[in-house]
């Protein structure tokens, strides 16, 4: 069944005349007649009583509301797609890891709204694994997350590396390890720590490094908020391994906390922006993608 068959049928049903239906559709009368006949042949059903005034048969009367609905839905879809392609998207959903959402993304979003003030931004802070999944599921349009093996063998993705940052140790100035100018993985063996919850790429990276070193990762608390990390570390002998970009803003406003480098070996994470190739064809998403690369990418 083709859309033009339904449109020809609807035109005849509404006007009662093949000639008037042809004028309405902008085609010849023979074309309208051929479309209706082919639809009747496809359905094995007569739809119209031909005569000076064409009238619906019982079958045509049953088809009429469904044909209207199909055509209306199709034209509504075409309008929506045309508006998307013209940049008239009304909402854009973004997922980002905590440090990016808190410290890196705000200037990008401000610049974006200056160009697309009619687009409502919805930003969700998630771990990398979860953010990547909701992107694949179509629940968000754009994500800024850690680089991951999950990217491999995924067709249709557009991935841009933004920057690399070192993982360091957040602790209080009176923590037992605070006297060290640098902290090794061996120093962290069995030391109480706060880590991100499951689904955060950094948690997986830290766990893998402890396993590789044959050391005990002693987790006493799982969190997913940088503010919560700051407040819990301040309470006592707990420490946390966090990216430098997350620690620096924390210690700049809290003189009781400090950062120490983590050595033997250093641990780095790659931060990327990710979307899909079809979304990148939409002007607002393309603009956000290029703005993110412009403002966050290392020179």
| pLDDT tens per residue, range 172-193 | 999 999 999 999 999 999 999 9
Residues 147 and 282 in one domain: yes
Residues 45 and 65 in one domain: yes
Q: What is the pLDDT of residue 84?
A: 64
Q: Which residue in 8, 22, 7, 13 sits closest to 50, CA to CA?
A: 13
CB 175 within 8 Å of CB 232: no
Q: What is the pLDDT of residue 87?
A: 57
The two structure tokens encoding residue 240: 């946390």
- Percent of the chain exceeding pLDDT 70 equals 97
Final residue in a domain of this structure, among 48, 70, 85: 85
Q: What is the pLDDT of residue 29?
A: 86
Q: What is the pLDDT of residue 261?
A: 95
Residues 177 and 221 in one domain: yes
**Mean pLDDT across 41-66:** 87
Q: Which residue in 82, 269, 78, 69 sits closest to 167, CA to CA?
A: 269
Number of domains in the chain: 3
**Mean pLDDT across 197-219:** 91
CATH number of domain containing 59: 1.10.10.10
Q: What band does 1 get if pLDDT is binned at 50, 70 and 90? A: confident
Task: Report pLDDT digits (tens) over 14-32.
Answer: 888 888 888 888 888 888 8
Residues 282 and 137 in one domain: yes
Residues 137 and 41 in one domain: no
Please state whether beta strands 192-196 and 239-243 pair in parallel, antiparallel, or not at all (unpaired). Answer: parallel
Final residue in a domain of this structure, among 23, 52, 85: 85
**H or E element in which residue 195 lies:** strand 192-196
Task: Report pLDDT digits (tens) over 222-256.
Answer: 998 899 999 999 987 899 999 998 998 888 888 89
**Mean pLDDT across 44-55:** 86
Query: Mean pLDDT, the chain, as a whole number?
Result: 89
Domain range spanning residue 126?
Answer: 92-156+275-296
Q: What is the pLDDT of residue 144?
A: 96
Q: Which range (45-54, 132-141, 205-214, 258-267) has the least confidence?
A: 45-54
CATH number of domain containing 170: 3.40.190.290
The set of residues, in sequence order, having a beta carbon less than 8 Å from that of 164 and lying 6+ positions away, is 268, 269, 270, 271, 298
Q: What is the pLDDT of residue 264?
A: 87
Q: Which residue in 229, 233, 222 sits closest to 175, CA to CA?
A: 233
Residues 230 and 187 in one domain: yes
**Separation in Å, CA 185 to CA 55, 177, 204, 226, 230:** 85, 12, 16, 22, 21
CATH number of domain containing 100: 3.40.190.10
Residues 140 and 185 in one domain: no
Residues 192 and 264 in one domain: yes
Residues 178 and 107 in one domain: no
291 three-class SS: helix
Residues 170 and 259 in one domain: yes
Residues 182 and 232 in one domain: yes
Residues 173 and 136 in one domain: no
Q: Is the pLDDT score of 86 beyond 70?
A: no
Q: What is the pLDDT of residue 187?
A: 96
The set of residues, in sequence order, having a beta carbon less than 8 Å from that of 5 and lying 6+ positions away, is 35, 36, 38, 39, 42
């Amino acid at each position: 069944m083709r859309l033009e068959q339904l449109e020809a049928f609807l035109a005849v049903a509404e006007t009662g005349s093949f000639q008037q239906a042809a004028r309405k559709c902008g085609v010849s009368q023979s074309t309208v007649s051929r479309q209706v006949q082919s639809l009747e042949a496809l359905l094995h059903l007569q739809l119209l009583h031909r005569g000076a005034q064409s009238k619906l048969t019982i079958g045509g009367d049953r088809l009429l509301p469904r044909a209207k609905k199909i055509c209306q839905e199709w034209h509504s879809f075409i309008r929506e797609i045309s508006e998307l392609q013209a940049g008239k998207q009304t909402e854009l959903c973004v997922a980002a890891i905590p440090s990016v959402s808190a410290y890196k993304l705000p200037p990008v979003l401000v610049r974006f709204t200056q160009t697309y003030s009619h687009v409502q931004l919805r930003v969700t802070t998630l771990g990398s694994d979860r953010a990547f999944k909701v992107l694949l599921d179509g629940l968000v349009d754009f994500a800024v997350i850690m680089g991951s093996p999950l990217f491999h063998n995924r067709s249709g993705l557009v991935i841009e590396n933004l920057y690399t940052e070192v993982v360091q140790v957040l602790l209080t100035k009176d923590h037992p390890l605070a006297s060290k100018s640098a902290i090794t993985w061996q120093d962290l063996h069995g030391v109480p720590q706060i880590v991100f919850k499951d689904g955060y790429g950094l948690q997986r990276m830290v766990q893998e490094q402890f396993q590789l070193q044959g050391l005990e990762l002693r987790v006493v608390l799982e969190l997913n908020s940088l503010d919560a990390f700051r407040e819990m570390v301040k309470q006592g002998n707990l420490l946390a391994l966090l990216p430098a970009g997350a620690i620096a803003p924390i210690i700049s406003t809290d003189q009781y906390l400090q950062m120490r480098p983590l050595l033997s070996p250093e641990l780095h994470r790659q931060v990327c922006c990710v979307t899909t190739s079809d979304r990148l064809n939409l002007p607002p998403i393309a603009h956000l993608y290029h703005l993110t690369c412009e403002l966050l990418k290392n020179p």
